[in-house]
Amino acid sequence: MSIVEMKVPVIGESVTEVTLSEWLKADGEYVELDEPICEFESDKATLEFPAEAAGRIVHVAAEGDDLEIGALVAKIDTSDTGGGAAPKAEDKKTDAPAPAKESAPAPAASAKEATYASGTPSPAAGKILREAGVDAASVNGTGRDGRITKEDAQKAAAAPAPSSPAPAAAPAAAKATGTGKVAAPSAGSSSFSRETRTEKMSRMRRTIASRLVEAKNETAMLTTFNEVDLSEVMALRKKVQEKFVEKYGVKLGFMSIFAKACAQALMEMPDVNAHIGEDGKSLIYHDYVDISFAVSTPTGLVVPPIANIESLHFSEIESKLKDLAGRARNNKLSIEEMSGGTFTITNGGVFGSMLSTPIINRPQSAILGMHNIIQRPVAIDGKVEIRPMMYLALSYDHRVIDGSSSVTFLVKVKQLLEDPTLLLMGL
């Protein structure tokens, strides 16, 4: 017997432990070389673990286990060639009794044979189904081997719930009273519930929780606010959008404009782009701007950075943002792609937030919070006008950034956004 031990691989320098979130292959099932056997959830991403050999798999760890790097996950018996994985046609003929008469032709095999993955939701799909109260058994999986994908779950969650026949309340009520008479139903009793359920927090959620508490407890965090009139930015986008899309293949969004404005201000104010070193006694300055962008995913918030924003064109930022956001929501980002960054931008406005105090993304020293755009009356040259206004919030570590620097930075960003000509000219 030849056994190959499957151990947790080195995923990244900062990753010391992972959670086995889901087995993709059943215990005792035959697997091919490089076929995914399970999914690991690290601090930042969900990763598939491929088989290192072909053979019969034997589970060692269980779903939900926290495993250190190098820990044993499973064993693969490579001496088993998979002959027992499923009965062959000849075996079936030998074992089964011969029919007395010629049997009817067997129905054609389905396009997808039922496997362990059939009807099993991915981690992202499972979360969507649980929140929507949809039974996975009622969802038709279109993924590999019939697995339920995120898209399948979203369609099922959006579909109207089928109507069910009214329960036979009278007999049940009579039985409950023991009198043969129907008990009067209490007002609104069907709408009340006292049920609870307990679910283990995902590794990403636990990491997010610990880092948020760490940021609150270990930084001197303050938030300063301002408002920006986006009339000129909206006029610019409207004017060039058609030509921009025709030339670059992506739309000119608000995020690239805000990113360029922040990058220009950060290059002029290096304190806001710095952070405290690991020794706690030094400041690390950067001659470049790597901006992390908060992306909401089914498993939690991730903040992948885009490097050298100060040197990128608006179209390059938009293309990179589109790619990062899409892959982040599908758990396709590597650990390296989600590490780093000197400054963060988060946009709560896409969810309708009017004002918030974002928490610093450590070890960075500042984060800009964007919010929704509201048509509000403002005083312009002594007259009241309706303008598209947005509140901006800058949370910063007062140990690194003085109050005057934080306010100056936010005012600079405001000026660049209210007069995009300054931004385009680098003024």
The DSSP call for residue 112 is: S
Give me the helix-helix angle, 403-418 and 231-248, nearest 10°.
70
To the query of whether residue 398 is one of the catalytic residues in this protein, the response is yes
Q: What residue type is 42 in one-letter code?
A: S
Set 27, 34, 91, 398: catalytic member: 398
SS3 of residue 129 by DSSP: helix
Which pair of tokens denotes residue 288? 């470049």
| Interatomic CA distance for residues 322 and 31, integer angstroms | 35
N-term to C-term CA, the chain: 72
Bridge partners of 5, per DSSP, are: 75
Give the C-alpha separation, 134 to 130, whole Å. Answer: 6
Cα(9)–Cα(73) distance, rounded to whole angstroms?
Answer: 10
Which residue of the set 95, 152, 402, 419 is catalytic? 402
Annotated catalytic, 275? Answer: no
DSSP-derived letter for residue 10 is: P
Q: Residues 322, 330: contact at Cβ < 8 Å?
A: no
Cα–Cα nearest to 272, from 141, 339, 365: 365
Of residues 313, 293, 290, 312, the one with CA closest to residue 303: 293
Nearest to residue 324, comparing CAs of 381, 256, 228?
256
Among 393, 283, 427, which residue's Cα sits nearest to residue 342?
A: 283
Which helix (H) or strand (E) is 50 found in, with range? strand 46-50
Torsion angles phi and psi, residue 170, rounded to 5: -65, -55
Alpha-carbon distance of 253 to 39, in angstroms, equals 35
What CA–CA distance (Å, rounded) separates 315 from 273? Answer: 23
By annotation, the residues acting in catalysis are 398, 402
